[in-house]
Structure 1
């Protein structure tokens, strides 16, 4: 993800309010999160950083000078583009939240089935339902990631020509925030819906792992919580052994906590996107 950032400074004029400097600082912080590993903690940290970034953008939009330039009729097209971009990000954020919430629902059903142990048939049915759901989500996630890539290309290909101008500086800042947001959402979607099956640690080697007893080990650190659960559940489908069920349950607990964190982070970003969109609409209606 780090390669996506051809980091250019917003170059907000020093005469602006200190909150302009804060926007640059928050952008730098968030970009370090995005370039880190795709573990649940790094994804969650990136979402928290994105919330702080939007808080600083909100302060920038409250400045009288910012509202004055954005409310000018001749700048309506620029603001309309920003509103359109914010709507697209809201849509993706909402869909990612749904994935995290639905995952928690399926994990809860699996927990219940494993605890009650009403029979191998019931557990296999619940497990198969989760695996089917995951396949569907991976397909949906792939389409959303493609959309995020296109958004990023758009933002990075059209920098403002005069960053020393207040209008250009503000618009460039907002565009970079949108670009950063789209990259973070791409990371979130890649975490929630891994697109590829690991060549040396995924589905193709499940049977081999089972025979070697490797599946009974704790989580593979090379995989995230979703991938670890995918592998553990595939072994449960193969054979309902107590040890494998216990491993699957432990991994489901880790996945549930991770999904809750991601959903919470996305919810915070969603609320801030709504707030920024409302601020822009208020400005152009002045």
Structure 2
């Protein structure tokens, strides 16, 4: 019998959309024959899930669950915005978030395995491929609050804080709108800062300014950049006359950390020419 490699399992999972353990068992049963293993999975798990697995799932929703001192923000994808609005799909996403918060899986694969039976049932009902794309947990000794923006639930944030829940929620709304990279300036990635410094330095030199003045220009622009990308330094969207840090401090609140997601970030959506598809189908 051929050796069952991790790549074989991954390839089968990619082509069927089913769980890793199911794929591995099918490959063992098929003695390493990929085509036979896929057939076994389609017979056992349903043809619909197998046939749909190759389609890009770039729509979807965010869901958040807070269980005690643990919170989870998850992104669950589907193929169309129509299904993304379906109550059954939204309920599945909420269930995934609760599973993440209570079971605390270490990886997306672990979380996906925990909800696999439920996922297949929703696929069978709604007729679209769907997947758990990503999630993040925050475990804290402080407090947690979530904000999911709008009825489409495509942008959201989970915030760790001390102090006022109402203030933290308002800052969560700011985070979704202003998209900071981190809470404090000293948390900005050093490589990113150096890249910006290099750009500003080259611009200052090209302007013909004396070295001393150019150096001050660079430092000023770096300071402005750090304020723009860190939460505490940003002008608060509900009152631009004060920074987020000032708003939090005057309300005895501190933001410790956050995780912000937007559905589909980084996914390359496939352009579908429906007219061409219909024309091609007509020729068959």
Relative to the length of structure 2, the TM-score reads 0.27
Higher strand share: 2
Relative to the length of structure 1, the TM-score reads 0.27
Greater relative contact order (Cα < 8 A, sep 6+): 1
